[in-house]
Structure 1
Amino acid sequence: MAHISYPFKKTNKAVYQKPASVLTEDSLYWKKLGLPVLVKEFGAIDYLDFSPVEPHYFAATCSVRVQVYDPITKVVAKNISKFVEAAYGASFRSDGRLIISGSEEAAVKLFDVQSKNVLRVFTGHTAAVHRTFFTKDQVKVLSFSDDKSVCLWDIATEEKIASFSEHSDYIRAGAPSPISPEIILSGSYDHTVKLYDCRSNETVLTVNHGNPVESTLFLPSGGIFISAGGTEIKVWDIFNGGKLLANISQHHKTVTTLRLASNNSRLMSASLDRHVKIYDISTFKAVHNIDFPNAILSMAISENDDVLAVGMVDGVISIRKREQPARRQYEKRLFKFIPDHVLVDNTSSTLDVIVNKQKEDKNSEYEKFLRKMEFGKALTAVLKPYIATKFPEKTIALIQELQRRKVLHVAMHDLTDKNIGALLRFFKKNLGETRFTREVIDATNVFIDVFDNQIKLFSEENLRLFASLQEEINDEVEVCKRVCELEGAIGLLLAGAQVGSNIDTLELNTLAPSTKAQKDIIIDV
């Protein structure tokens, strides 16, 4: 009898792939920030600030020094180390020529960037000064201290112009008004944010953030400010008596830094959860997320979003520079030339069309074994560490195909002791993955049916893996039970709310006729 060959159908692994993230203009824009260059410092990076003028050096405050970095070469251009104890919160003046910094010494120091000389020392605080800024007119400086006070200093005379001691805990955040040199904003660990007017020397506004405040900033209009503390970012309206305009909660650990970017149209927040999130100022919705290897203490971004610097708790500074548009590479592409007569009536200057090479579709190793009906070898191929870790959807797709053909038990029976361990590791790792949970459970049941009488013959390592898998399954069962209980409780609450709403409707319907009758009686009388 003649042999009949049937077309081979490839396994469908696409169904288990992660859903592709939607590409937006913001994600494309921020992904153009190049690969990070990591620079190691001697201590946690307390504060970062970019110079407003070119070449946009940035100051990194860490340990007992302020390091001024060149963002292009990523090396230290200036080293300001005239501190006895830790330095905090160094920031540039708008002309980029001066730097003001606080310190653990309870003093505020003013430096000349070029010569690194100390020009002024402002003394008067009794505890560490963590944040310092220049005012709008650039002739005064602000300091925020752990002695629970905010001070305004005159640069020319080194005298204290104003002082406010309204907070009841450390002050670790503050900001000068972008429209007036007399307006000051401060945020404290007592959960409050206060607005001061130096002309009347009084507090004009107090709002409760609800958590220790780590960072504050004004929007360019000066009528709205933003505070960050705990896992929340809150937006407040000054002119409406401190009305809360928005409450953003996208982080799951403490938010440490706020910055404005993209010509003040985007808000950036950094957190101890290792994420930098970017929001649209008009809607306060997150538009992009950037991950980092460690908890973030400080962040700064240069003008035109060219360089992003992020400081972490382990003393590492991550520097990302925006990639410049490169010349188009033609050597790896094919060209399709258009004849001259086609371009007679065409005003376009484009003379050729680029045709991208299409990759050849090659069968994977496991599919070749599947075609030959060597099921054990096919399962072994997808249990290789690279495939099982990097492309688990391929492993799951093959397992489902073997189950569909009802030969999964045959494939498992052909596994060696080493591959049995690889299969148990795969089950344990992917049991909680929602894309694979159903398939892993079904495959585990087949595994138990095949090896039920041979488990005692497993190696010590495989026995340990099998016991660990059992514990994982028990934990998943407990989680499912709790979720069911929670679902039932929520359903009961929703049902009660719906019944209450129906009762109110019935009462209104029953009362309506009597009310109408009463009106008729009154009219008759």
Structure 2
Amino acid sequence: MSAPLQRLNRSKLPTHPSASANPEQRFWHSFKSPLLINDYASITSIHFSPSTPHDFAITSSTRVQIFSSKTRKVSKTISRFKETAYSGTIRSDGRLLVAGDHSGLVQVFDLNSRAILRTWDQHKQPVQAAKWSPNSVTCVLTASDDSTVRLWDLPTGEVTSCFIGHRDYVRQASFLPAGSAIGGGAGGGLVVSGGYDGTVRLWDPRVPTSTSTATNIDNSDSHSPAVMTLTHPSAIDALLPMPGSTTILAASGPVVHVWDIIAAKPLLQLSNHQKTVTSLAYTINKNLTIDTPNPTASSRRVITGGLDGHVKVYDTTSWQVVHGIKYPAPILSLAISPEEKHLVVGMVNGLISIRTRTSGKEKEREREKEKQMQALLTGAPMDGGRKKKTKAEERRLRGIKYTGDADSVVLEEKLKTVHLRPYEKDLRAQRFAEALDKVLIGNAPALTTYTLLSTLKHRSALKSALANRDEATLSPVLKWLTKNLHRPAYVELIVDVALLVLDMYGHAIGQSPMIDALLRDMRQKVNVEVKQSMTALRIGGMVGMLVQGAGGEGVTA
């Protein structure tokens, strides 16, 4: 009995290696449904309301836009600025907003009516940092290019503290978060600021005040000296006090410095960005903790964004990069919502990216897809939760019919009619040259020709298929080799076939102008591919040096 007919299976080309996603990657990959919004000016600030429903304020040009966290659309616009606005920040109760501008003016707005409730004009240069105290709803912190940092009392409109010590622009300032080991105290707690003089300074409003003698500060202002100064090699562009700890992150150029403010010493440096780091944020990653059976001691993550267009996520237990996202333009600001639903990034060209985590039915669909993909990779059955098929249904699906009674079961295989292609018939009949001619002259897909040549090589029939050819039948072989030389997966086979052709027909070179022209074309194509390969090797070496110079793991002591 002859063997059943079988069609020629196409060759499987090598694919890129893939690794199964861990819980961390699955969490950050769940930020899908990207929404891109084009603004007409750079996005200088993004801030989420601490209170539900966690709407967020985006500051650009002379306005602050309030976006709904439910619809991701603009719900309110505050445009009562004459100069460029900065640092629109929502109060903890979600009712008020404070912002500074390029003229030095600081304004407090009612978000419902958009009315101006308070205006401060003591700063004479741009105010690029304005924050609400986490401990007091009536205390506001501002930092200005006039090198001062001030605390304001909202009901009276008076300055309660003026911190003087920076020698250049101060564009970053923040309260130490509530619950920090040293963050308590009057006036909203300790204050930390970062300036273009390369210093991070820690201020305590409880320290007795003295009279300022600085030429650019009103002599009637009282100020408190810094209780700690941390020096960096360049300007401070971003500052982040970590909640519930004694750690402060300061971005100086492309490096993020991690400080222990109790010991007043640096812990480590994060050097994963190639350009200036402009924004820092953190998240508790509650969803990751829930999805992970054995979570690590801390699920807190730090998020950084830089002018290189990269967002990087760090695990604060090891300070390793656990995820990264590439954006199309330099990043100026970013924020993640308290409930970890939205990741918003603002760019220099006015582009706003809003990524939202999948939830509800959509999340269930994603999980079902992951289960099916995992089952496909492991070979497990993919019933998808459906009703199990009966044995009769399974037999029908497999093309097997049942004959006999319950006591005598006989399975008879249902033979299927197999229709061979013309070149497969020639291959079965060992007409190797005819099979090769049919795929070459018939303009078959490149993969079909590759599969046939691979089969002929494995059967040691390649020489027979190429033998006794004239100018008309050899030229299609040379054309196919030259045309597909740029495919990396085909190169090894093409080299074997080309060497065999040269060995068999080398004596005839110079006798046919057509064959000589095809060989010249192949030679030029080979030279081009060699040059491109050398360029790729040089670029690969440079990239390897950059990765090694960046520390590989992203942490240097």
Q: Taking structure 2 as the reference length, what is the TM-score of the superposition?
A: 0.66
Aligned to 2:431: none
Letter in 1 for 2:162: S
Gaps of 5+ in 2: 179-183, 208-223, 287-298, 369-382, 391-396, 399-420, 428-434, 467-472, 507-513, 546-557
Alpha-carbon offset, residue 395 of structure 1 = 11
Aligned to 2:198: 191
1:414 is aligned, of 476, 480, 491, to: 476
Q: Against the structure 1 CA distance between its residues 155 and 23, is the aligned structure 2 distance closer, same or farther, given a 3 Å change threshold?
A: same
Tell me the distance in 1 between the aligned counterparts of 2:312 and 2:156.
Answer: 42
Alpha-carbon offset, residue 368 of structure 1 = 7.9
1:318 is aligned, of 353, 360, 374, to: 353
Secondary structure of the 1:210 match is: coil
**Structure with larger RCO (C-alpha < 8 A, sep 6+):** 2
Does structure 2 retain, via aligned residues, the 8 Å contact 1:297–1:312?
yes
Tell me the distance in 1 between the aligned counterparts of 2:65 and 2:500.
Answer: 60
Alpha-carbon offset, residue 34 of structure 1 = 2.4
Alpha-carbon offset, residue 110 of structure 1 = 1.1
Aligned to 1:28: 26
Secondary structure of the 1:475 match is: helix
Q: Against the structure 1 CA distance between its residues 445 and 300, is the aligned structure 2 distance closer, same or farther, given a 3 Å change threshold?
A: farther
Tell me the distance in 1 between the aligned counterparts of 2:449 and 2:107.
Answer: 62
Aligned to 1:301: 336
User: 1:233-256, CA deviations, whole angstroms, 9 ceiling, x for partnerless residues?
Assistant: 221111112x22232222233222
1:260 is aligned, of 267, 282, 285, to: 282
Aligned to 1:11: 11
Does structure 2 retain, via aligned residues, the 8 Å contact 1:52–1:94?
yes
Alpha-carbon offset, residue 298 of structure 1 = 1.1
Aligned to 2:535: 475
Letter in 2 for 1:414: P
Q: Against the structure 1 CA distance between its residues 453 and 158, is the aligned structure 2 distance closer, same or farther, given a 3 Å change threshold?
A: farther
Q: Against the structure 1 CA distance between its residues 439 and 78, is the aligned structure 2 distance closer, same or farther, given a 3 Å change threshold?
A: farther
2:250 is aligned, of 203, 227, 231, to: 227
Alpha-carbon offset, residue 59 of structure 1 = 0.3
RMSD value over aligned CA atoms? Answer: 4.5
Alpha-carbon offset, residue 258 of structure 1 = 1.0
Compare 96-105 and 396-405 and name the one that shifted more.
Answer: 396-405
Alpha-carbon offset, residue 192 of structure 1 = 2.3
Aligned residues: 436
Aligned to 2:318: 283
User: 1:68-100, CA deviations, whole angstroms, 9 ceiling, x for partnerless residues?
Assistant: 011222211010001111111111111111111
Alpha-carbon offset, residue 173 of structure 1 = 2.0
Gaps of 5+ in 1: 340-356, 359-364, 384-393, 431-435, 487-525
1:336 is aligned, of 372, 387, 397, to: 387
Alpha-carbon offset, residue 423 of structure 1 = 3.8
Does structure 1 retain, via aligned residues, the 8 Å contact 2:478–2:518?
no
Does structure 1 retain, via aligned residues, the 8 Å contact 2:450–2:490?
no
1:381 is aligned, of 434, 445, 459, to: 445
Q: Against the structure 1 CA distance between its residues 27 and 474, is the aligned structure 2 distance closer, same or farther, given a 3 Å change threshold?
A: closer
User: 1:246-297, CA deviations, whole angstroms, 9 ceiling, x for partnerless residues?
Assistant: 3222223322211111257121112233332222222222222233333222
Letter in 1 for 2:445: A
Does structure 2 retain, via aligned residues, the 8 Å contact 1:49–1:92?
yes
Letter in 2 for 1:11: S
1:274 is aligned, of 284, 291, 309, to: 309
Letter in 2 for 1:303: P
Does structure 1 retain, via aligned residues, the 8 Å contact 2:484–2:490?
no
Aligned to 1:157: 156
Tell me the distance in 2 between the aligned counterparts of 1:227 and 1:187.
Answer: 8
User: 1:455-488, CA deviations, whole angstroms, 9 ceiling, x for partnerless residues?
Assistant: 6986xxx99987754643453576799999x9xx
Bigger CA radius of gyration: 2
Tell me the distance in 2 between the aligned counterparts of 1:477 and 1:228.
Answer: 34
Q: Against the structure 1 CA distance between its residues 338 and 177, is the aligned structure 2 distance closer, same or farther, given a 3 Å change threshold?
A: same
Aligned to 2:40: 42
Secondary structure of the 2:74 match is: strand
